[in-house]
Amino acid sequence: MLWDDDCNVCGMRCQTERSVMNCEMPKVCIRKEVRARKTHVRCECRKQIVIKSIYVRYSGIWDKPETFKLCVRCDKLKDLALKKYQPYFEEEGPGFGFLREWLRECRR
């Protein structure tokens, strides 16, 4: 297990308000690569995670415990996006499920 409590990628739960991202950082966040035992829907690309495939699971505590599932490709894309468009504050990074919108805002 990898604890990512100071990571720009982990645990930003967002609300979009007129193209502005307002994110909340988690108290604790864990990133783990796991093999799927059942089908899931990915939070970024919204495609299906098929049984026996590897995916990335982020589990964290905000107001309550939550889990986000990403394919390995979207997780790497999120890392690359954060390196290219480094947010000034961690809260300005892409929240789970908002990577496309965040990239559009950064490219403006």
**Could you report the per-residue pLDDT of 34-89, keeping only the tens digit for each?**
999 999 999 998 899 999 999 999 999 988 899 999 999 999 999 999 899 888 77
d(CA 32, CA 68): 11
**Strand partners of residue 44:** none
Q: Are 81 and 21 in contact (CB under 8 A)?
A: no
This model's pTM is above 0.75: no
d(CA 14, CA 20): 10
CA 85 vs CA 6, 18, 62, 104, 108: distances in Å = 17, 20, 25, 11, 12
- When comparing pLDDT for 4 and 100, which is higher? 100
Q: Are 98 and 22 in contact (CB under 8 A)?
A: no
For residue 64, what is the DSSP state? S
Smallest Cα–Cα separation from 94: which of 66, 75, 69? 75
The reported pLDDT for the residue numbered 108 is 82
